[in-house]
Amino acid sequence: MRAAAWCKSLGLGLCLAAVPLAEAVDANAPAIPASAVGAGGCLATGNGFLRARIRGALSLDIDWKNADLECDGTERPHGRGIIVSFAGPKRTGGRRLRMVFGIETGAEGVAGRALPTNLTVILEGERRLFATRGDDHCTVDALQEEKVSSSSPGLRSYRVVARGFCTEPAGGLGRNERILVTRFDFAGRVSYDSAVHHSSTE
């Protein structure tokens, strides 16, 4: 499956915006939404983070604090869980690593355990993308959603805290390489849009 089709299956504009990095430069590709970029820092409360251990074609031990991160989160299409995205510090030449978690959760704001999770890892500026291509290769052991204030009418926002691991590798798109994320834990945010939720259930 090509990166564009895979990103569409995730239902995430951030992932679609990264398609040119994995396939070919496209001047008409959608831009990264401004709401996902942020003005510096993940959470206004200062307690966002991402930690992950990656082995294989990449060997990384990530420990990003709130100020290092850009993060965003939204509902999956038709309310089938949430998508949470983290982008780390920008490096020379515009290089940056982004991790996108698609998590099958229960009802909004409800804690969960043993949740099937899809993972996409994007190396911006290097035209590399890794994807597990399904929810059965990674698991969120525990997840909590803590209600926080929202500056936008119609949005209900939460600080989402989770930890988990992958049992199968994520394959590189367009390259014969794989990575395994043996553990991850994070605190980011997710927003539920009343208008979008209403239209998706009609």
Query: Where along the chain do its domains lie?
Result: 37-200
**Can you give the pTM of this predicted structure?**
0.79
- Lookup: tokens for 37: 């970029």
Asked whether 171 and 133 are in contact (CB, 8 A), the reply is yes
- What are the pLDDT digits (tens) for 43-72? 999 999 999 999 999 999 999 999 999 999
What pLDDT band is residue 40 in, cutting at 50, 70 and 90? Answer: low
What pLDDT band is residue 188 in, cutting at 50, 70 and 90? Answer: very high
pLDDT tops 60 at residue 202: no
What pLDDT band is residue 179 in, cutting at 50, 70 and 90? Answer: very high
- What are the pLDDT digits (tens) for 82-136? 999 999 998 887 889 999 999 999 889 999 999 999 999 999 988 899 999 888 9
pLDDT tops 80 at residue 195: no
Percent of the chain with pLDDT over 90: 59
Give the chain's mean pLDDT: 80
